[in-house]
Structure 1
Amino acid sequence: MTHLPTRPILSLLAASALTACASPNFPIEPPVIQTPPPPSAARAPAEPPMARTQEPAPEAPRPTERVESRPLDMPPAAPRAESRAESRPSAPAATPPAEPTYRTVTTRSVTGRVVDVDGPPTVYEVKSGDNLEKIARKLDTTVEQLKKDNKLKSDVIRPGQELKGPRSEAKAYTVESGDTLYAIARRFGVSAGAIAGENDMAIEATLRPGQHLRLPSGFRDRGPITSTQRVRVDPPPPPPQRPAPAPVQTAQATPPPPPPPPREEPPARLPSRPQPYTGRAQPTPAQPPRATTPAPTPAPAQTAPARPAPPPASTPRIVGAPVASAQPSDSEISQLGRGRFLWPVRGDILSGFGPKGPSQRNDGVNIQAKAGEPVRAAAAGDVVYAGDQVPGFGNLVLIKHADGWVTAYGHLARVDVKMQQKVTQGQQIGQVGQTGGVSEPQLHFEVRYAPTPEERARPIDPALVLPR
């Protein structure tokens, strides 16, 4: 009778030992060769009673099902964590660089002041009956000053002799940095040679800032010379793209073991940290433990390796967007435009093509001409704009030509064509004027070229394609 209460307890202990071996609650260490304990110690407590007398031993694994029912949900947790990491949104694509914009800038040159200076001395030719006192009254000076200015030692003079009187008042221009003799002559409506002769200097002499140049008689001050240029305004550079942070993957933490039950209950004999069961021979892979579902052996717990960080993102290319081709060289432009264009008007060049100072640029040429002179189409094409809504250009006409060429005509006094009108080479499209804030009649003329239809036409030097 003493064996009857012991058999169920032994059966429960055996089932608990099997549960500790098969439970995936804890990671199993990498295979290690262990020396099994003596067979007597492993088999003595449980084998004989189960083998000889108690037949319902197969019913014992039922507690095992309840013990294993909790950790079976753990293996899918790792893929879910990885899927969450993979579904994390990637870094936003970089915004493609914006197209450069332009603004119209009106520059002023020859801005020096006009001041009063001493002019050349007054010259008087002695006539019959004149004397120094009489001549001094006519020249509004004294006899002593007259004798000093002419280095006379006596009061004797003779008819036909020239005497220098006091200096007259004259107007002079104060030279500014960047001024040229020709630009100064344009402002005052005289020739460069007249200014050079008035100041006893060579026409190619170098001017220095602050120098006073006497203005010849008959000058007319037209004010500082103004010219209009289009200045490129580059957008601010996009912020540097940072690589997307690698998703942090953390292996699912092993849940802590459940608190041990009270000592008097059989499950209290379960070890707090189960180890691979070695008390009996391990079953072969083809023979799973009875009444239990074989669970895959979990890999050793470790932090999942982080994915390598992607390389720094470069500026993305929009699929289907046009790709800018290389800008043709000046020699290629000359060959492409040879014989295509005529001068729209003839005259002196007030402002040439290219940079004109810090952040300033002329995308064409400004041609001086008389007001009302006809402006003609440089080549045949279609009028794509005719109006005065572009600031700084006054009345403006844009003509689109074949093979990617465009010409522009600004500061017109009058527009003689309309939009979508076809024009022929040499046809009058307007008249020279000074609209758009310029100080004198002139034509602002531009030539632009686009190698492909998808690109914007870029300004080129008109001198490369106009006849010489």
Structure 2
Amino acid sequence: MGASIRYGIAPFAALTLLGACIPGNNRPEPQRYADAEYRQPHDTYERQRLDDGVQQLPSAPPAWQARPVTADARSIVGNTYVVRSGDTLRAIADLTGAGSEAIARANNLQPPFVIRPGQQLIIPAGRYHLVRAGETGIAIARAYGIDWSRIVAANNLIEPYMLRVGMRVLIPGIARGKTTIEERAAAFHLDVDDILTGGEPALATNQRPARPTASSTRVLPSTAALAQPSRLRGTFSWPVHGRVIGRFGPGASGERNNGIKIAVPVDTPILAAADGVVAYAGDEIAALGGLVILKHGDGWTTVYGHASQLLVQRGQSVKKGQTVAMSGNSGLADRPEVHFEMRKGRTPVDPMGQLPEL
């Protein structure tokens, strides 16, 4: 994992860090050189400077850290239930321990899920986790030591992948041999798709997502779900201008690159490719280091990795061309570069087909 982010910073230290993260605030002049002369740093001081821990504005821990989950799923044996007068699908779910969505799927019920007295319903077998306030898909998956994508598929979750308090999530299967909390947590690996589909805390029935703020100083509580943009405004632009050194798709060694890699000098401003809202700013995905994820509406998301400094907060609204981070070589980058992804829903899209020609 990349350098960990410390919380609870003393006021003076927080102000110092904030000042260090503001572009143009006495930052040493970055070294610049042409693409043809682009090289990996060899000087010891330069390497140490590039490898320093990711700097971030003082912020709340991610919701999946702030609200851990207890793996207490209830095992349900498949059976049938005869609907009685006054029953609702939610009440039947509470009574049987199965998920209302799973019951609806098993019986081909369509919204608004009307049921009638005397109707016989199939109650599907499985292990069901009751979602509590503030829990996230990531924390649920981590508690059971399985990929969140498997839970998404097992429950037919769709965008915006928002869990609700009281929902019973079907757990498709616990990793074999993983018996302790630590073993299950170690079996879970966080990726961009997890953050996009399982990073938001569950909403209560009468609760609304928090509206974004334009200020980087307002820290959105971890327990607050974030309202997402509904529509994409305008077109996309390049986050940085540099040489593309990694293309979208399968690499030479067979690994898949879900974006492109752009070589730029260290401390190059990384710009928002379009208007959007910050869905994540942190360094919990080891390979990508300092990472910012923006949501833009119409299912579009952009991802900016290998940053040395993060200048925005989760829940902050940003404008196209606004600086969201400073480039570096954090994570598994072997040179100063920006990892840039674009996604439509959960599907990675080649940025070269969406960005203007240089």
TM-score by structure 1 length?
0.28
Which one has the largest radius of gyration?
1
Greater RCO, CA 8 A, separation 6+: 2
TM-score by structure 2 length?
0.37
